[in-house]
Chain A
């Protein structure tokens, strides 16, 4: 009964209506338009066939070392800590640390490193007067193991502030991409029909786009609903009811998840119908759009909703929006440096912006599963905490945190 009432309240709210509009707008502009065409098979001898990951440690070490020496020589390290370009210039002390690592990587001393640095090719980017350097086949120490190499790369990434090409999680995707042959590209294409059975691949693309929207929009509906009691001055009335805080919060959370899943479910249906029309006559998995996207998107929806409820209950709806925007911005922008082939263990929004390239996704399957479980646990923990805070408020033991003084706008705005 309560669940139905909460669902009705949410569906009639303007936040939910705008949620639906934005969600469908994003679906039609991002996914649907591109889904009107069939994935085309590679044509032998025409164009390139894309890339594949081949985890060859020698290739990775050589490529990363060449790049690192070049950036060290120019003292300009290209980083994308939040998906945007950032040129990092190190001070002498940190540069000296990088030099020490370079000596260990190359198995040389000061003079040896000096000799290596002298072999670089100088060039200039665009109109820039800042010289850059390119190095090829920098020698690698014979005693260097791949484990020690990744350890050093991790330290260097930390020195650079993160988001560099030397991030151990990104080394493989940065330096181990090799061009595919026609046969490999054909096999990848065939996987789309045989292993993914069409909808499996399309579902990944669908989830990629939907995840971006679901990472942010639900927080508004959640914050709006959570703050509604205070805004309508109903909270004191509800506090006196016999229902337990946990049951009330869980029911509201379930109602939010259920109602906000409806537009996504409708979009899955539309995507399935579109796939049936576009790939007419081809055997496909008709449940493909409902399996992977559920696992992929539900933790995102659960997390952004839980953050909205939790922060609104402690601070205010505005604070909840800011927190979720920051989390979304970080997750989307750090994920945008590689649109396929790199899924982090703690990334809320996973990216795989292609219907094919199944092997790249499978290579990251471990991280994908870990991240989904992690965010599901986080969201459930946040809901539990929200219930505890709500209970404390009911008992008069807690009255929310005022961020800025007695007359804080956060307190009064609700």
Chain B
């Protein structure tokens, strides 16, 4: 497939389907300084905003990846095209991950400029958590073919992270805030597995190309 064709699909998708979600994620970034103090924080304190708000960004960016095809008219058009739907889905995921990485980078950069003890390792950890919870929402949205369920499950996972803390064992997404080590690689791998599982499920059960 020509790269120009892919670029056109990406442009069209972003413009018509994903822009609103990108704007919502930017909105989450903009309210972060309103909710949290982001000046002169120790690494433990800095981890709290860095692990809380990116989770919401991950939910907003990754859960609705398959939402455009909820409209049956769009779904029929997409089905009739030669381009594999998995390529389109993969491209949307990549776009959302790039936006997520940029937003986390901006948040981390802002905190570093305000004397917060933030390291690149922490930023990578924040990205891993956001990626994992987004993939969680994506998986359930894909399996149930309903983005509302994706939001429901991922937001409940977010809620559990706020209240259950250490009881989530290695699946705790706020491990840096609670001082638990070894969680980030586990959640990152889980996220990748969930994406693969969702795509395989759609291919087998829904006969998608």
Report which A residues bind B (CB closer than 8 A): 14-15, 18-19, 22, 29-30, 79, 81-82, 84-89, 126-128, 130, 212-213, 216-217, 220, 223-224, 227, 231, 233, 317-318, 321-322, 325, 332-333, 403-404, 407-410, 412-414
Residues in B neighbouring A128, C-beta threshold 8 A = 40, 42
User: Which residue of chain A has its CB nearest to the CB of B42?
Assistant: A126
Residues in A neighbouring B70, C-beta threshold 8 A = 231, 412-414
Q: Do residues A14 and B144 form an inter-chain contact, with CB atoms below 8 A?
A: yes
Q: Do residues A227 and B148 form an inter-chain contact, with CB atoms below 8 A?
A: yes
Shortest Cβ distance from residue B45 to the other chain A in the assembled complex, whole angstroms: 7
Number of interface residues of B (CB under 8 A): 40
Q: Which of B68, B74, B148, B159 contacts A15 (CB 8 A)?
A: B148
Interface membership of B29, Cβ < 8 A: no
Q: Do residues A317 and B42 form an inter-chain contact, with CB atoms below 8 A?
A: no
Residues in A neighbouring B71, C-beta threshold 8 A = 412-414
Interface membership of B167, Cβ < 8 A: yes
A-B pair count, CB < 8 Å, reads 105
Q: Do residues B16 and A130 form an inter-chain contact, with CB atoms below 8 A?
A: no
Residues in B neighbouring A404, C-beta threshold 8 A = 19-20
Q: Do residues A318 and B19 form an inter-chain contact, with CB atoms below 8 A?
A: no
* Cα–Cα distance between A409 and B13 once the two chains are bound (Å): 11
User: Which residue of chain B has its CB nearest to the CB of A330?
Assistant: B35
Shortest Cβ distance from residue B155 to the other chain A in the assembled complex, whole angstroms: 6
Q: Do residues A84 and B48 form an inter-chain contact, with CB atoms below 8 A?
A: yes
Shortest Cβ distance from residue B158 to the other chain A in the assembled complex, whole angstroms: 9
Interface membership of B127, Cβ < 8 A: no
Among B68, B146, B148, B155, chain A packs the most CB atoms within 10 A around the CB of: B148
**Binary CB contact string for chain B from 112 to 151 against chain A (1 if under 8 A, 0 otherwise):** 0000000000000000000000000000000010111101
* Cα–Cα distance between A87 and B36 once the two chains are bound (Å): 8
Q: Do residues A317 and B148 form an inter-chain contact, with CB atoms below 8 A?
A: yes
Q: Do residues B149 and A216 form an inter-chain contact, with CB atoms below 8 A?
A: no
Given contacts A317-B148, A318-B147, contact A409 B40 (CB under 8 A): no
Interface membership of B152, Cβ < 8 A: yes
Residues in B neighbouring A410, C-beta threshold 8 A = 20
Given contacts A217-B156, A412-B74, contact A322 B37 (CB under 8 A): no
Residues in A neighbouring B152, C-beta threshold 8 A = 15, 18-19, 22, 217, 220, 321
Given contacts A217-B156, A403-B20, A409-B68, contact A84 B35 (CB under 8 A): yes
* Cα–Cα distance between A218 and B105 once the two chains are bound (Å): 34
